[in-house]
Structure 1
Amino acid sequence: MDGRDMLAPLRTVRARTTIFATLAAGTALVIAALALLVTLQAQLEQGNDAAAKGRDRDVAALVQTGALPRSLPLTQDDTFVQVLDAGGSVVASTPIERSTPVVDDIPAGDAFELHVVDAEVDVGEIDEFRVWALRVPSAEGDVVVYAGYSTESIQEATTVVRRALLVGTPLLVAVLAAVIWLLTGRALRPVESIRSEVETISETDLGQRLRVPATSDEIERLATTMNTMLDRLEGSVTRQRKFVADASHELQSPLAALRTRLEVARTPDEEVSPEPAESLLDDVGRMEQLVKNLLFLARRDAVQLPPPTQDVDLDDVVLEEVQRAQSQTRVPIETSTVSAAPVRGGREDLARLTRNLLDNAVRHAHRQVRVELGVHGDHVVLRIDDDGPGIAEADRERVFDRFVKLDDSRTPAVSGSGLGLAIAREIAEQHSGTVTASTGALGGNQFVVTLPAQ
């Protein structure tokens, strides 16, 4: 097992969450422990300092009233009080022991002054004392009152707390890590359940969906989003399969016709007349147009293209396509109401949109096709009418789906690939526009294309 495999369990969301949360909580606990120690020591020193200054005041009052005894009572172990005159002689004091620090060289002022000194309390043992000094005037002259205490008790208290924290903090962090691990695992359990369910869904069984828990939280939204994604994926795969099947079917007919005519043409002593040759060319043209349409849709499905931003005079594009269509049909195409219509888009795509709609109208028209184009407010509107049988209202949306043919109800004698209108709608939508079918003024079908005006 290499190093990456050994570290794999640590790369899980559960492990990372536990590690980061434990580190954050551990850091906070260490900071809190240090703050506790500092606060504890400060509070203890503050209390003892207040007591020492209080003894200074009490002794100062005795000095000023002339009632200062030679021996002062000891109020607490590890404390002392000494009163020194201007010559440094002890005027009064608590019982002087070995541990009592020497204070005659400690300066004093008219206000409280704090001094920290060391004193040998035992052989080789040094203690720290905090001493408060106060100069007091008396009838015999100024004296200095010193009140102090040993910090040993403070150090012992902080040491006890420190040891407790050194033991308790790691234990608390360990317990916290275990709790975070369990809670994270419980919180991620629905996610793992969703992952397991998704893992069982195969390409051949895209109809399966995830259970959506009624928790009104991120897990419910995740399951809903995954189901929505599966819906889109299933639809995409279904469209792809249908696309392949329909494309194969559409290519089969012209290929079969070509094969039949070519087999006839290769028959010995069989002359090939111009009529079969023209028919062959028609079949090749149909197949070529079908392949072009299939490639266009395949490219659109594969890549999400940005909206084109070229300045296009749509009226020039429409008139060019009308001229092309008129050269291939006897049905007259009226363009008297085509006016200037500048838009932003792709010229080739807009030409293809117009061509597909125009070819559909000419293919189904009886005697007339009318093309109208103009600017209406913020939009450019293109209308293409024919006097054919029209499209049933129930089919006016379905006709824009791929490979949908309504020729049986429109004109049984003609047939397209079922891709032209689908391509027209995709181009319109790419240009932030729409294309719809309705009943026109000529009594047949009317295609209406609406695009943003420039």
Structure 2
Amino acid sequence: MRSVRARAALGATVVVAVALIGAGLAVLLVLRANLTDQAGLQAEVAAREVAGQLALDVPYTGLDLPDAREHPVQVTDEDGRLVAASEDLEAVTGTGTDRVVPVPSAAPGSSDDHGSDDDDGGGDRHGGDRNRGDDDADTPGRGEVATDEPDFTNGTATVTGGAADYRFAAVSATTGAGVTLTVHAGAPLATEQEAVGSVRAAMLIGLPVMLLVVAAVTWLVTRRALRPVEGIRAEMAAITASADLSRRVPEPGSRDEIARLARTTNETLTALEASVERQRRFVADASHELRSPIASLRTQLEVGAAHPGLLDVPGAVADTVRLQVLAADLLLLARLDAGERPGSSRLDLGALVREEVSQRTGDRIPVTVAVPDPGPLEVAGSRGQLARVIGNLLDNAQRHAERSVVVSAAVERGAVVVAVADDGAGVPEPERERIFGRFVRLDDARSRDEGGAGLGLAIARDVAHRHRGTLTVTRAAAGGARFELRLPHPSPPGG
């Protein structure tokens, strides 16, 4: 089942079905138990009424028995013999005996069938008077009815040809002569059976209807809820087919998860469009930058091949070096774009600055170094990439400075800060972010050989971001540009 709507409708229907079936069974059980208890109570009342008459020594033939259809009654003695029964009772099950015709017996108050008192105070066949203090605590005393909970059973009774189910209650009573009798009185279970049957039938009819309603409502609600998702899917399919990343998926006006999904999808499309556009510009600019030195180098080599004396070897070497530097920059940018993570080794950024400056013997302007030695300028990252950042910042300062370039390093507010300042023309404030773009050169009047390809600052900022740092430019005290590299200062081991 591939449809979310179908799965949601089926799942909701199954859950509701299980819940309704469980609740329905519970209702039926509780209803049956309550009605059965009511029938048992009615049977107990009828049994106690007859037992009360027996306790008052009313003869068996003189018992006022209720209507057999409402409360069929049997009275048995201690030996299980039937001594009295409802007049129209034809058959019975579930009581002490299935007999319906009483056995001839003496009246409850006589001693013909149960022995007589002796002169020495001897009692009846049960060993004397029965009182509440006897060993058999369940047997009532003379002239009393048992007060404990009666025994309940379910059975059937046939009265004048009609059989029905009954709830029987058994209540004991002791006559004045000490004879203990048991009264079985029943109450019909027809009401319980009709009520349970009606409820069961209503549930069997209503359950499928309710499940159909639940399934239909769930289907419609899910369809309405997923309609924006289908719109998003259709638009994404169209974007994929057309490769037009400027298109956006529709955003519903709600504030639910689907609206957030649409907004996130559009944000992803925006980032993807920017990335693709940046990639296109990068390829175009790289091709343009590579074309000039390659063309120049080819021209020089062709002239040298035709006229060896005219070969400009220094120019060819310079073009080759320029190609090598540009290729290295492009490869580094490609690795950075691919998500290459810097190393986690620790290094002294101050020592790295001094080492980088010491290797620049051919700079146009001497570099002044203001770095503490030794100093707590430790950072975590790639030594090669950070050296590349410092070298690019120094190259940029050398191109624009007039008389001085100053590089400093210090710890400020939990970060290691390296600043490279010059006394050149500086960077106009509106251009201070644009200069970090790739292949960006503000001074178009400069030749490409002097101005570079415009990748140095872009590489420096990307490396700074990969090291969880920042690279910004402000106005220097001498009036030129001040580039500030800020990297997090790691806590000492164990700190």
With structure 1 as the length reference, what TM-score do the two structures score?
0.87
Match of 1:314 among 336, 340, 349: 349
TM alignment of 1:70-81, pairs within 5 A:
70-74=63-67, 76-77=69-70, 79-81=71-73
> Which residue in the other structure is 1:201 paired with?
239
Matched, 1:113 2:150: yes
TM alignment of 1:48-59, pairs within 5 A:
48-59=39-50
Which residue identity lines up with residue 438 of structure 2 in the other structure? R
- In structure 1, runs of 5+ residues without a counterpart are 1-9
Matched, 1:13 2:21: no
Whole-Å separation in 2 of the counterparts to 1:140 and 1:195: 95
Whole-Å separation in 2 of the counterparts to 1:32 and 1:356: 77
How far the C-alpha of 1:348 sits from its partner, in A, is: 1.4
How far the C-alpha of 1:140 sits from its partner, in A, is: 2.8
Whole-Å separation in 2 of the counterparts to 1:409 and 1:164: 93
* Larger deviation, residues 347-356 vs 51-60: 51-60
Secondary structure of 1:99 counterpart: strand
Whole-Å separation in 1 of the counterparts to 2:72 and 2:158: 13
> How many residue pairs were aligned?
437
> Which residue in the other structure is 2:363 paired with?
329
> Which residue in the other structure is 1:132 paired with?
169
Whole-Å separation in 1 of the counterparts to 2:203 and 2:448: 92
> Which residue in the other structure is 2:453 paired with?
417
| Alignment check: 8 A CA contact 1:84 1:144 kept | yes
Whole-Å separation in 2 of the counterparts to 1:412 and 1:152: 107
User: Which structure would you say has the larger Rg?
Assistant: 2
| Alignment check: 8 A CA contact 2:72 2:157 kept | no
| Alignment check: 8 A CA contact 1:134 1:146 kept | yes
| Alignment check: 8 A CA contact 1:129 1:151 kept | yes
- In structure 2, runs of 5+ residues without a counterpart are 99-137, 140-145, 491-495
> Which residue in the other structure is 2:392 paired with?
356
> Which residue in the other structure is 2:424 paired with?
388
Runs (4+) off by over 6 Å? 409-413
Secondary structure of 2:172 counterpart: strand
Which residue identity lines up with residue 439 of structure 1 in the other structure? R
| Alignment check: 8 A CA contact 2:53 2:63 kept | no
1:37-95: CA deviations, max 9, x gaps? 22222122111112112223333333344567424121754x42233344545454433
| Alignment check: 8 A CA contact 1:374 1:381 kept | yes
Say if 1:368 and 1:397 are closer, same or farther in 2 by CA, change over 3 A: same
With structure 2 as the length reference, what TM-score do the two structures score?
0.80
Between Structure 1 and Structure 2, the one with more helix by share is: 1
Matched, 1:446 2:482: yes
| Alignment check: 8 A CA contact 2:95 2:153 kept | no
Matched, 1:82 2:117: no
Whole-Å separation in 2 of the counterparts to 1:412 and 1:251: 12
Whole-Å separation in 1 of the counterparts to 2:206 and 2:23: 13
Matched, 1:227 2:266: yes
TM alignment of 1:52-201, pairs within 5 A:
52-66=43-57, 69-74=62-67, 76-77=69-70, 79-90=71-82, 92-101=84-93, 103-104=95-96, 110=146, 111-116=148-153, 118=155, 121=158, 129-141=166-178, 142-149=180-187, 151=189, 154-155=192-193, 157-201=195-239
Matched, 1:434 2:470: yes
Say if 1:332 and 1:338 are closer, same or farther in 2 by CA, change over 3 A: farther
TM alignment of 1:235-254, pairs within 5 A:
235-254=274-293
Higher relative contact order (CA 8 A, sep 6+): 2
Which residue identity lines up with residue 183 of structure 1 in the other structure? V
Which residue identity lines up with residue 24 of structure 2 in the other structure? A
Secondary structure of 1:207 counterpart: coil
| Alignment check: 8 A CA contact 1:114 1:130 kept | no
Whole-Å separation in 2 of the counterparts to 1:129 and 1:259: 115
Whole-Å separation in 2 of the counterparts to 1:226 and 1:127: 72
Whole-Å separation in 2 of the counterparts to 1:216 and 1:409: 53
Whole-Å separation in 1 of the counterparts to 2:438 and 2:362: 25
> Which residue in the other structure is 2:249 paired with?
210
| Alignment check: 8 A CA contact 1:118 1:126 kept | no
Say if 1:321 and 1:231 are closer, same or farther in 2 by CA, change over 3 A: same
How far the C-alpha of 1:258 sits from its partner, in A, is: 1.1
| Alignment check: 8 A CA contact 2:432 2:473 kept | yes
